[in-house]
C-alpha cells in the first residue's frame, strides 16, 4: 500500500539549495517576471548571494490573471526543494487519474491511474493549481530578497550583448533608461525581444492553427447538481475528445474552482495571443458536447481566448559572446498538450543557476592553480 508524499517534505536525496554559493559579485539582469523569470531570479540570488539581480517586467502590476495550470513532478520536486511545499498543499489539487470520454455521449473510453502511483514513480506529486497562485508563490521567493530589485512598468526596447561595448552588456527601456549588467537573461516569453539578439535574426512566432478557450467556474454550483458533483468530489483530470476539438477539465484552488480548457481550430479572429473571448461563442462552438458539459459551460460568465503559437527550434540559447542567455518560452515555446511549458522554464531556472555557479567556481579554481 502506498501513501502520499507530504508536500512539506523535500524530495529524498536532494541536498540543500546551493549549499556552496559562489563568492563572485555580478549584476545580472533578468527580463520577464513570468514563472521562469521569477524562478531564475530566485535560484541565482541564492547561488550568487553577493551578486545583484534586476528583474524587469513590462506590466505595471503583477495581478490575478490566467486560469488553471498543471504542475508535473519534475517541477513539483523543485518547488518542494525551494520550500513552497506547505503553500502548495494549501491550494493545489492532486488528481487521482486522467479520464478520457467520448465528447457527445460522455462514455468513458480511457482511464489512467495517477495519484500515488505517479508519486512513487517520479518522487513528487502531480498537481493542479491556478496560474496566479503559482505566480504568487514564486514571487514570494524573491520579494524582499536583499540582492533582488524588481522594476515594473519597464518595457525593454533594446539589448546590447557585446561585453566590449561602452559600459558592457545593457538593456534600454522605453523611458530611455539604460541598465548595465554582467549577464542578461531573456525570460520574456514567446514574443521575446532577447531571442533575436541571441540568434542574430528575426524569428517571428507562427500560428499553429489551434486556439483555446480558458475559463474557471466555482465548484459550489457544481456541487448543487448531482450530475456534476462527482467531478468535484473525485479529483480527476477529464478529457472529452472530439474530431479537431477537445476539452480538458480539472479542479484547482483546493477544489473551490473548476478549470476548463477548450481546444478548437483557430479561426483567426483574435490577433493577440491572449484576449477576452466570447462565452456565447464558446458555447456555440461546443454545443454538440454531452449534456454535463453544457451545464458546466452555462456557468461560464467570461473566458480568455488563447491563440497557440510556436517557434522553430533554435540552434543555441546563449549568445556567442556569452553574456546573454534565454530560458523558457523565449527559446523553446511548447504547445500545451504535454503540460510541460512552465515545468521546462522552472527546470531552466534551476539548471541555469547551477551552471552559473559551476562555471564561476570552476573558473575561480582554475585561476587559483596559476598561483
**pLDDT > 90? residue 33:** yes
| Together in a domain, 162 and 38 | yes
Q: Are 88 and 127 in contact (CB under 8 A)?
A: yes
CA distance 292 to 320: 55
pLDDT above 90 covers a percentage of the chain that reads 62
Q: Is residue 223 part of a domain?
A: yes
CA distance 98 to 269: 32
pLDDT at 364: 47
Lowest mean pLDDT among 88-97, 340-349, 362-371: 362-371
Q: Is residue 357 part of a domain?
A: yes
Structural domain of residue 229, as residue ranges? 73-125+206-310
| Together in a domain, 109 and 223 | yes
Domain harbouring 253, CATH code: 3.30.9.30
SS3 147: coil
Last residue of a domain, one of 272, 287, 310: 310
What is the overall mean pLDDT for the chain? 87
Name the β-bridge partners of 260: 215, 249
CA distance 344 to 195: 17
| Together in a domain, 220 and 296 | yes
Q: Is residue 17 part of a domain?
A: no
pLDDT at 357: 47
pTM of the model: 0.88
146: which 3 cell numbers?
536583499
Q: At what angle do helices 73-81 and 115-122 cross, to 10 degrees?
A: 70
| Averaged pLDDT for residues 152-168 | 92
Domain harbouring 183, CATH code: 3.50.50.60
Q: Confidence class of residue 365 from pLDDT cuts 50, 70 and 90?
A: very low
Total structural domains in the chain?
2
Amino acid at each position: 500500500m502506498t501513501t502520499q508524499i507530504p508536500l512539506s517534505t523535500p524530495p529524498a536525496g536532494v541536498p540543500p539549495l546551493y549549499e556552496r554559493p559562489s563568492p563572485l559579485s555580478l549584476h545580472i539582469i533578468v527580463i520577464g517576471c513570468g514563472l521562469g523569470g521569477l524562478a531564475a531570479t530566485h535560484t541565482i540570488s541564492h547561488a550568487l548571494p553577493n551578486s545583484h539581480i534586476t528583474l524587469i517586467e513590462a506590466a505595471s502590476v503583477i495581478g490575478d490573471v490566467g486560469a488553471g495550470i498543471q504542475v508535473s513532478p519534475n517541477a513539483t520536486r523543485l518547488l518542494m526543494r525551494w520550500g513552497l511545499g506547505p503553500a502548495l498543499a494549501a491550494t493545489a489539487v492532486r488528481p487521482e487519474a486522467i479520464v478520457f470520454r467520448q465528447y457527445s455521449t460522455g462514455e468513458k473510453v480511457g482511464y489512467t491511474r495517477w495519484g500515488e502511483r505517479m508519486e512513487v514513480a517520479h518522487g513528487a506529486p502531480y498537481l493542479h493549481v491556478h496560474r496566479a497562485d503559482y505566480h504568487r508563490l514564486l514571487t514570494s521567493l524573491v520579494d524582499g530578497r536583499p540582492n533582488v530589485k524588481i522594476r515594473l512598468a519597464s518595457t525593454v526596447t533594446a539589448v546590447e550583448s557585446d561585453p566590449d561595448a561602452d559600459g558592457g552588456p545593457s538593456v534600454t527601456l522605453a523611458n530611455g533608461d539604460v541598465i548595465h549588467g554582467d549577464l542578461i537573461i531573456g525570460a520574456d516569453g514567446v514574443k521575446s525581444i532577447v531571442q533575436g539578439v541571441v540568434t542574430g535574426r528575426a524569428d517571428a512566432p507562427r500560428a499553429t492553427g489551434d486556439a483555446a478557450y480558458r475559463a474557471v467556474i466555482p465548484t459550489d454550483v457544481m456541487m448543487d447538481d448531482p450530475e456534476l458533483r462527482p467531478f468535484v468530489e473525485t479529483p480527476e483530470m477529464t478529457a472529452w475528445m472530439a474530431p479537431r476539438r477537445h476539452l480538458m477539465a480539472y479542479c484547482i484552488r483546493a477544489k473551490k474552482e473548476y478549470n476548463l480548457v477548450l481546444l478548437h481550430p483557430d479561426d483567426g479572429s483574435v490577433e493577440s495571443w491572449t484576449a477576452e473571448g466570447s462565452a456565447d461563442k464558446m458555447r456555440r462552438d461546443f454545443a454538440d458536447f454531452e449534456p454535463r458539459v453544457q451545464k458546466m459551460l452555462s456557468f461560464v460568465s467570461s473566458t480568455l481566448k488563447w491563440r497557440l503559437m510556436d517557434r522553430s527550434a533554435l540552434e543555441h540559447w546563449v549568445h556567442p559572446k556569452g553574456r546573454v542567455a534565454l530560458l523558457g518560452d523565449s527559446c523553446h515555446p511548447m504547445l500545451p498538450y504535454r503540460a510541460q511549458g512552465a515545468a521546462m522554464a522552472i527546470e531552466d531556472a534551476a539548471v541555469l543557476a547551477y551552471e552559473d555557479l559551476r562555471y564561476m567556481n570552476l573558473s575561480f579554481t582554475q585561476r587559483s592553480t596559476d598561483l
